[in-house]
Amino acid sequence: MKKGLFCLFFFCCTCVYGQYLNKDVKAVLEVVKSENIFEITSKAENISDINQSLTYELKVFKKNEKSGNESENNQSGRFVIAPDEIKKISFSAISSNAKNERVIILLLIRNLDNEIIGKARNVIINGEVELNEKKITLKNKPKDGIRLRGVVLEKVKTKPGRDFYGFFYSQFLSYNFTDSRIVLVEEVFSRGRTTKVHIKVDNKKVYEFFVQPKTDYLKNNANIAVKIIYNYFNKKEKDYIVKY
């Protein structure tokens, strides 16, 4: 990812940077239930006054809380949107009527620098759309400045790095973290052509691993990383031991 994310990181801590998700281009998810079928329409709304060339990624994660069975489907593509235009960018339909089943629908919109500029999320629980699901939002301004909760930033360089971030972010969302500390997923070059992913909380490294282009390997490290963050948020820093 580019310098913009580090500027956003700096803003979150010092309130000097003014770019938020859905500011220039808004991600919109419409979920309509028809019997046991959920029709998912993804849209983008260009709030800016210039043409935008963008990419989108629609992720659908299913998990049965009782059996532990999981599945994942992804859609992606490119599109161009004019100023003030609302454009339909994808349509899909899924079935979900099982008890103890949780479905997370996540729409991400990125610019040409691969920065996330728009995000929308819906959750289906036990066959019903959850209307009051917690979302990442700006809180009221406290005395020491604006504070965000549940924020994840990325700075990845390779396709396996981006794949890991997708797995990691979906797991992160499922925990509904309310901690105000900022999580950074950063990919750095190591020996030769290999890379490492560092997971940092408020710029303190809590987990790292060597990147490999294997889906199961990346998913496993994503699960480990989120669990470590969960433990980190719920333990005193002085008692925390970084794991690799």
Instruction: Reply yes or no on whether the pLDDT at 235 is more than 80.
Output: no
Instruction: Look at residue 16 and tell me if it is in a domain.
Output: no
Token duo for residue 198: 């560092």
Q: Which of 114-123, 128-137, 198-207, 232-241 has the lowest mean pLDDT?
A: 128-137
Instruction: Reply yes or no on whether the pLDDT at 192 is more than 90.
Output: no
**Percent of the chain clearing pLDDT 70 (strictly above):** 79
Instruction: Reply yes or no on whether the pLDDT at 15 is more than 90.
Output: no
Rounded to an integer, the average pLDDT of 5-31 is 59
Residue 224 has what pLDDT? 93
Does 239 lie in the same domain as 140?
Answer: yes
Token duo for residue 104: 């997370």
Q: Where are the beta strands (DSSP E) in 4-81?
A: 25-34, 37-46, 52-64, 70-81
Token duo for residue 81: 């949107």
Instruction: Look at residue 6 and tell me if it is in a domain.
Output: no
Instruction: Look at residue 209 and tell me if it is in a domain.
Output: yes
Does 173 lie in the same domain as 125?
Answer: no
Rounded to an integer, the average pLDDT of 24-51 is 88
Does 114 lie in the same domain as 32?
Answer: yes
The most distant pair of C-alpha atoms in the chain lies apart, rounded to whole Å, by 54
pTM: 0.49
Does 118 lie in the same domain as 41?
Answer: yes
Give 75-131 pLDDT, tens digit per residue: 999 999 998 888 999 988 888 766 778 889 999 999 988 888 999 998 888 878 875
Instruction: Reply yes or no on whether the pLDDT at 211 is more than 90.
Output: yes
Domain that holds residue 144: 136-244
DSSP string, 5-27: HHHHHHHHHHS-----TTSSEEE
Tally Cβ neighbours within 10 Å of residue 84: 10
Does 127 lie in the same domain as 173?
Answer: no
Residue 217 has what pLDDT? 95
